Amino acid sequence: MRCDAVDDHKGGDNSARGYETVTSAWQMGLVRPETAGATGLTVSVGLSALNVISLLNRFAISARLKGVGGIFFSLTIAAGAVLALTRALHNVDYDQVFAIIRHTEVGVIVLALILVTASYGSITLYDWLALHTMGRKDVPYRIAALASFISYPIAHGIGAVALISPILRYRIYSRSGIGAMGVANICFLTGLTFWLGNMTALGFSLLYEPLAIGVVDHLTPGINRLLALTLLSGVAAFVIWSWRHPRRLGKNRWVVRLPSGPLVLLQILIGLLDLTAAALTMYVLIPSGLDIGLFRLMAVFIAATLLGFASHAPAGLGAFDATILIGLGGADKEQILATLLMFRFLYHFVPMLGALVLFGAVEGWRSLRASAAATARADMSDRRIEFQPDHAGDDQGETDDPQRIGRHAVEQHADENAADGADSGPDRIRRAER
């Protein structure tokens, strides 16, 4: 769903070398993902992942800083989140928190799971839309859904989204003929869908309720509303820019074809569906006694999501939680903490566990098929044509039979052939015909 850029201190040279290495290996037949063993598979996936990440570093559009500055920025957010979370959890009655969780109705949990399914179902459309933008309509939806569902929960849960997500996507898409360049395009386009949806949702939420994240960004309602108008104007400008004629980004070996105007609108709708379903999952888990509006929740939820991604922590741990507790908690910390724990379990842990099981099953099935194919090829190469012991005498007899026409037959007319060789006239032709 979301592929972020990582630091690349050597720039385009690394990308070119990575591309040439992978291409050379494919051309020489040294790396074939569909038939390679464990070592070859590791080399193929590793080189392709490095190539994808290098490409993403060159063209990804994000607020993340490069090099040491990016690392410092992420560590600063993570440290600030830990400090804020520690303060937010001060004097929390954990017995009350677990009591709230125990008394949550089953129907509420079921409704939350339905919304989780809707959110992850919309995530599968991220890859499907990216494939259509690339012109790869031959790749079926089930492949796009598999790659998207496996890559996002695992990569986001581990925390190394920029590294894990391209590798997992490559493992799925390589069977459909999509190489490192294609995976880089998919990651870029899915990231574009994610950011367009976030900017649109955050803009409308802040425009409707500018006080929603006032306790988080410490800005006045007027400035927050101006920020909302800026975000919405940026999205509108991108739609207009892409609507006039097809756009492309990049040059040389990697060129990304951007979606046209109608597809951009579809991107925004898919992003809004994903974020709305995710936010509604948390919304239905909030105890009924709390007066928290949906637009306020949406604004805080999106801010928490963005800070969580910027921190690079697994599932945004710390930054996401601190933002939710500060933005929604107030004097009701126990209720919000109980909601947060249930959301974490239903939205992050359960899908990640399901994705790991599914990925393991897919890899196991492919390994069994590869082993069976290798065994079949070995059996075919070891087969030999031999005389059967029970018919050895017959075979020898056939060999000695001068009338037999076959590989053991003996020509009986050697003298006639010799005469024919000396006779080049019509008689030879007539004898040959007879």
How does pLDDT run across 96-123, given as a tens digit for each residue? 889 999 999 999 999 999 999 999 999 9
User: What amino acid is encoded at 4 in this protein?
Assistant: D
Which residue is listed with tokens 């017959």?
A: 394
Average pLDDT of the chain is: 75
CB atoms within 10 A of CB 402: 9
Contact criterion met (CB below 8 Å) for 313 and 159: yes
**Ramachandran category for residue 252: left, alpha or beta (phi over 0 → left; psi -120 to 50 → alpha):** left
pLDDT higher for 386 or 194? 194
- Beta-bridge partners for 256: 249
Q: How far apart are CA 125 and CA 142, in angstroms?
A: 10
pLDDT at residue 22 above 60? Answer: no
pLDDT of res. 252? 67
Q: What percent of the chain has pLDDT over 90?
A: 28
Find all residues with CB under 8 Å of 251, minimum gap 6, and list them: none
pLDDT in tens, 281-305: 999 999 887 888 888 898 899 988 8
Please state the rounded mean pLDDT for residues 209-235. Answer: 87
Give CA separation, 15 vs 33, 178, 186, 204, 381, in Å. Answer: 21, 18, 17, 39, 41
pLDDT of res. 1? 43
Backbone angles phi, psi at 257, to 5 degrees: -85, 120
